[in-house]
Amino acid sequence: MREVAVIGVGMTKWGELWDKSLRTIFVETALLALDDSGIDKIDSMYIGAMSSGVFVGQEHLASLLADYLGQTPLPATRVESACASGGLALRMGFIEVASGMSDVVLVGGVEKMTDLNGHEATYALGTAADQEYEGYHGITFPGLYALIARAHMEKYGTTREQLAMVAVKNHFNGSKNPLAQFPYEITVDSVLNSVMIADPLRILDCSPITDGAAAAILCPVEMAKKMKKPVVKIIGSGHATDTIALSSRKDVTWLEATYQAAKKAYSMANKEPKDINLMEVHDCFTIAEICVTEALGVVEKGKGGEAVELGKTSLEGKIPVNTSGGLKAKGHPVGATGVAQVVEIVKQLRGEAGARQVKGARIGLTQNMGGSGGSTLVHIFERE
Amino acid sequence: MREVAVIGVGMTKWGELWDKSLRTIFVETALLALDDSGIDKIDSMYIGAMSSGVFVGQEHLASLLADYLGQTPLPATRVESACASGGLALRMGFIEVASGMSDVVLVGGVEKMTDLNGHEATYALGTAADQEYEGYHGITFPGLYALIARAHMEKYGTTREQLAMVAVKNHFNGSKNPLAQFPYEITVDSVLNSVMIADPLRILDCSPITDGAAAAILCPVEMAKKMKKPVVKIIGSGHATDTIALSSRKDVTWLEATYQAAKKAYSMANKEPKDINLMEVHDCFTIAEICVTEALGVVEKGKGGEAVELGKTSLEGKIPVNTSGGLKAKGHPVGATGVAQVVEIVKQLRGEAGARQVKGARIGLTQNMGGSGGSTLVHIFERE
């Protein structure tokens, strides 16, 4: 298999984009990525979207977007793995370029969520859980993650304040990202006094409902070396699943799919957690980031909350996590999130991350997760 | 890239499966395919499903099905390209095995459509059209294909009776397929006197609403040669898109995505239309099969209707089309259709097709199409 590079990335401002439709949001973003790559001819497209059917009544999404990007009759494939759809699109593009089947592949993620009201959007997001054994009984994602949070607090002594510190850290980072939906700082007090959603999680523990897209252009490393931008290689890719229902797991505080996907990605990249300079992970709720850093081997099991409190994962810490602001501050247009993580890592490894630049970053990791951890994609990137 | 074989296929009886949920339908089918292959360890799964979100409120589908098949933490990917989702799953599995990334890949397609009533199911299917420029104005798929049919009749003199003959031929074939939803013969008169749906299409011109699944197991040819079953190779794969809205096309009677996908598949296989012994094509409406055979180069442009009338595409004809009964008689659980086409071709090439066996069949083709032709997958198979 051939070595694969990311030679272009694009992202537009995320938020409640009332004046733009899904196709417009995607096309604007894809054109930015193409422009960044310096390439105008692509061979194939992969689109990550979680539920364009429920959110905007539109399936057959990859054809629609290929059409509006002026790229028919190009092969265009939509992939879905709930909130990990973007990371999955990246993996598919990686396999296609690595296989030699295509040279230049556009990988995009997109979701238009605000056409639904809050109740309807909560239903749409609930389609990522087991509808027959979880949704039917009335639980939604804040409830599922609240169960995880409570179990983590009981088992490991993780504190309510440590959960809040994840949100505070990510909003601090997000305040330096002009494309973030909520680019401003918050405090531990503001989290602790925000509206209760599902005990112990309050609204400032939860990532928001967002419209947005992100895109990346992949090609063989040999081709990327001829272009003007610094070469960022994809050196590891891991994909794993877990039981979709939380009730089927032996330990709800442990994200087995993240552990398994990371194991494969580390092995392919021939790297260990200590080699990673920064990472973008799936903080759909504050507790998620804590569990994810444990499953990725960045901190010991049970020590994720303590690590945040000690500043280990902050922008100036030993391993900065979610320098972009994460899902919490940057926003979470579900299908786009996994690709936006790549945008951040590529910008960081190129030294283009502005006020939130991690000095000397050379190796980065992305972790993108579906549902309550029923699927996970982990990718590792290295600057040549 | 490595040569890829299909070493196992599975399909259960299709119809209105009130007593089974989506996951049960899929798991039963996948186990049949695994059993047929003689292999019990798979490396990866691809699931084609068009709109499990709208049909049954369930996204995150590949993880759910990997879980219920007892295959976590295996990588599992759902792909969507409307009614071409199954064909797309096959292509993804083909690329993954060809690339060397995985050895044994399960490719499945599934849809549970009858949990919705007819009005709701028509809405769900309509998500394959351009919702903003087609759906919003009230047109549904029977209407879109009726426009194609009327244009074909005006331009080429295709007759109402020729349309009916497609349904009659496919029901004749389907009467020999015990897994078909409607395994019985019909007549031209019964089609012409059936309920009008969208002039000129009547209900017996339309494929039905169906619950069902299909599955296939792929592996490298070298591995397949060590197994007991005859080796059926995938020798060509083509994937193409077209404008999603019918109104954007220069000629609505011409399926450009089918033409482009076929061109790639023929080229990869180093075959021409005359080399193909039989094919399974996307007869979602009778007019569709006529247009598809033209775009595949089996008959001249405009001669698709005449070819059916002359028996060229019948079971004993020069090139049998839809020996399984096609979407029309076998049923059309949208995401499953593209994989069921593979099941039929593999059974035919192995000589296991019973009363509908095409004698001496060695090379077969599948054509699976999304929406009104906005995406198409073409695959060519050869028995070693």
Residue A228 has pLDDT above 90, yes or no: no
Residue B20 has pLDDT above 90, yes or no: yes
CA distance A254 to A301: 8
Give a yes or no: residue B108 inside a domain.
Answer: yes
Task: With beta carbons under 8 A apart, name residues in chain A contacting B220.
Answer: none
Interface test with B, best of A241, A256, A372 (most B CBs within 10 A): A241
Q: Residue A72: which of B66, B71, B242 has the nearest Cβ? A: B242
Percentage above 90 pLDDT, chain B: 99
Percentage above 70 pLDDT, chain A: 100
Distance from CA of B305 to the nearest CA of A (A): 26
- pLDDT band for position B101 (cuts 50, 70, 90): very high
Q: Each residue of A255-292: pLDDT tens digit?
A: 999 999 999 999 999 999 999 999 999 999 999 999 99
Of residues B310 and A40, more confidently modeled: B310
Residues B200 and B270 in one domain: yes
Distance from CA of A41 to the nearest CA of B (A): 16
Give a yes or no: residue A230 inside a domain.
Answer: no
Residue A222 has pLDDT above 90, yes or no: yes
Where among B169, B195, B224 does a domain terminate? B224
Asked if residue A39 lies in contact with residue A8, where contact means CB atoms within 8 angstroms, the answer is yes
Tell me the mean pLDDT in the region A203-213: 98
User: B243 to chain A: nearest residue by CA?
Assistant: A67
Report the mean per-residue pLDDT for chain B: 97
Q: Are strands B196-198 and B278-280 parallel, antiparallel or unpaired?
A: unpaired
Interface test with A, best of B105, B112, B113, B375 (most A CBs within 10 A): B375
Residue A193 has pLDDT above 90, yes or no: yes
Asked if residue A253 lies in contact with residue A265, where contact means CB atoms within 8 angstroms, the answer is no
The pLDDT score that the predictor gives to residue A40 is 87
Tell me the mean pLDDT in the region B207-231: 96
Residues A92 and A153 in one domain: no
Distance from CA of A99 to the nearest CA of B (A): 4
Distance from CA of A57 to the nearest CA of B (A): 5
Q: Answer yes or no: do B241 and A75 touch at CB < 8 A.
A: yes
- What pTM does this model have? 0.98
Residues A64 and A198 in one domain: no
Task: With beta carbons under 8 A apart, name residues in chain A contacting B67.
Answer: 241-245, 248, 374
- pLDDT band for position B17 (cuts 50, 70, 90): very high
Q: What is the CATH number of the domain that holds B215?
A: 3.40.47.10
Residue B1 has pLDDT above 90, yes or no: no
Distance from CA of B130 to the nearest CA of A (A): 7
Q: Answer yes or no: do B67 and A123 touch at CB < 8 A.
A: no
Interface test with A, best of B44, B51, B64, B268 (most A CBs within 10 A): B64
Distance from CA of B81 to the nearest CA of A (A): 5
Q: Answer yes or no: do B75 and A241 touch at CB < 8 A.
A: yes
Please count the structural domains in chain B. 2
Q: Answer yes or no: do B56 and A131 touch at CB < 8 A.
A: yes
Residues B300 and B326 in one domain: yes
Q: Answer yes or no: do A51 and B53 touch at CB < 8 A.
A: yes
Q: Are strands B201-202 and B196-198 parallel, antiparallel or unpaired?
A: antiparallel
Phi, psi of B266 (to 5 degrees): -60, -45
Residues A77 and A215 in one domain: yes
Provide the 8-state DSSP code for B83: B
CA distance B346 to B333: 20
Residues B107 and B245 in one domain: no
Residues A85 and A60 in one domain: yes
Residues A253 and A113 in one domain: no
Q: Which residues of A are catalytic?
A: 83, 332
The DSSP string of A4-69 is EEEEEEEE---B--TT--HHHHHHHHHHHHHHHHT----SEEEEE-S-HHHHHS--SHHHHHHHHT
Task: With beta carbons under 8 A apart, name residues in chain B contacting A57.
Answer: 54, 123, 126-127, 131, 135
Asked if residue B311 lies in contact with residue B183, where contact means CB atoms within 8 angstroms, the answer is no
Tell me the mean pLDDT in the region A197-207: 98
Q: Answer yes or no: do A79 and B78 touch at CB < 8 A.
A: yes
Tell me the mean pLDDT in the region B303-325: 98
Tell me the mean pLDDT in the region B308-329: 98
Give a yes or no: residue B232 inside a domain.
Answer: no
The pLDDT score that the predictor gives to residue B7 is 97
Residues B8 and B152 in one domain: no
Q: Each residue of A32-46: pLDDT tens digit?
A: 999 999 998 999 999
User: B69 to chain A: nearest residue by CA?
Assistant: A243
Interface test with B, best of A2, A45, A64, A130 (most B CBs within 10 A): A64
Q: Answer yes or no: do B80 and A75 touch at CB < 8 A.
A: no
Asked if residue A342 lies in contact with residue A326, where contact means CB atoms within 8 angstroms, the answer is no
User: A57 to chain B: nearest residue by CA?
Assistant: B127
Distance from CA of B314 to the nearest CA of A (A): 31
Q: Answer yes or no: do B76 and A241 touch at CB < 8 A.
A: yes
Report the mean per-residue pLDDT for chain A: 97
User: A79 to chain B: nearest residue by CA?
Assistant: B79
Give a yes or no: residue B231 inside a domain.
Answer: no
**Residue A354 exposed, middle or buried by CB count within 10 Å (0-12, 13-18, 19+):** exposed
Where among A197, A224, A251 does a domain terminate? A224
Give a yes or no: residue A232 inside a domain.
Answer: no
Task: With beta carbons under 8 A apart, name residues in chain A contacting B111.
Answer: none
| Residue A246 CA neighbour count, 13 Å, CB half | 22
- pLDDT band for position B316 (cuts 50, 70, 90): very high
The pLDDT score that the predictor gives to residue B106 is 98
Residues A74 and A33 in one domain: yes
Q: Answer yes or no: do A72 and B1 touch at CB < 8 A.
A: no
Task: With beta carbons under 8 A apart, name residues in chain A contacting B132.
Answer: 21, 23
Q: Each residue of A48-107: pLDDT tens digit?
A: 999 999 999 999 999 999 999 999 999 999 999 999 999 999 999 999 999 999 999 999
Give CA A324 to chain center in angstroms: 11
The pLDDT score that the predictor gives to residue A188 is 98
How far, in Å, are B171, B198, B200 from residue B195 at the CA level? Answer: 17, 10, 11
Helix (H) or strand (E) holding B329: helix B326-330
Residues A75 and A187 in one domain: no
Q: Answer yes or no: do B73 and A130 touch at CB < 8 A.
A: no
B206 catalytic residue (yes or no): no
How far, in Å, are A184, A293, A326, A329, B286 from residue A211 at the CA level? Answer: 18, 27, 15, 13, 40
Q: Answer yes or no: do A80 and B100 touch at CB < 8 A.
A: no
Percentage above 70 pLDDT, chain B: 100
The one catalytic residue in B60, B83, B152, B282 is B83
Rg (CA), chain B: 19
Using alpha carbons, select from B281, B286, B292 the residue that is nearest to residue B254. Answer: B292
Distance from CA of A74 to the nearest CA of B (A): 5
The pLDDT score that the predictor gives to residue A319 is 98
CA distance A372 to B297: 48
Q: Which tokens hold the place of B383?
A: 């028995």
Q: Residue A77: which of B23, B88, B98 has the nearest Cβ? A: B88
Question: Predicted ipTM?
Answer: 0.96
The pLDDT score that the predictor gives to residue A187 is 98
Give a yes or no: residue B384 inside a domain.
Answer: no
- pLDDT band for position A149 (cuts 50, 70, 90): very high
Give a yes or no: residue A145 inside a domain.
Answer: yes
Q: Which tokens hold the place of A224?
A: 């990327």
Q: Answer yes or no: do A370 and B243 touch at CB < 8 A.
A: no
Give a yes or no: residue B298 inside a domain.
Answer: yes
Q: Each residue of A310-336: pLDDT tens digit?
A: 999 999 999 999 999 999 999 999 999
CA distance B76 to A248: 18
User: A61 to chain B: nearest residue by CA?
Assistant: B81
Q: Residue B95: which of A53, A66, A96 has the nearest Cβ? A: A96
Q: Residue B81: which of A62, A67, A135 has the nearest Cβ? A: A62
Q: What is the domain range of residue B150?
A: 126-207+238-333+342-377
Residue B52 has pLDDT above 90, yes or no: yes
Q: Residue A66: which of B76, B79, B241 has the nearest Cβ? A: B241
- pLDDT band for position B183 (cuts 50, 70, 90): very high
Residues B111 and B186 in one domain: no
Tell me the mean pLDDT in the region B76-85: 98
Residue B282 has pLDDT above 90, yes or no: yes
User: B75 to chain A: nearest residue by CA?
Assistant: A240
Q: Residue A131: which of B58, B135, B260 has the nearest Cβ? A: B58
Q: Answer yes or no: do B63 and A80 touch at CB < 8 A.
A: no
B83 catalytic residue (yes or no): yes
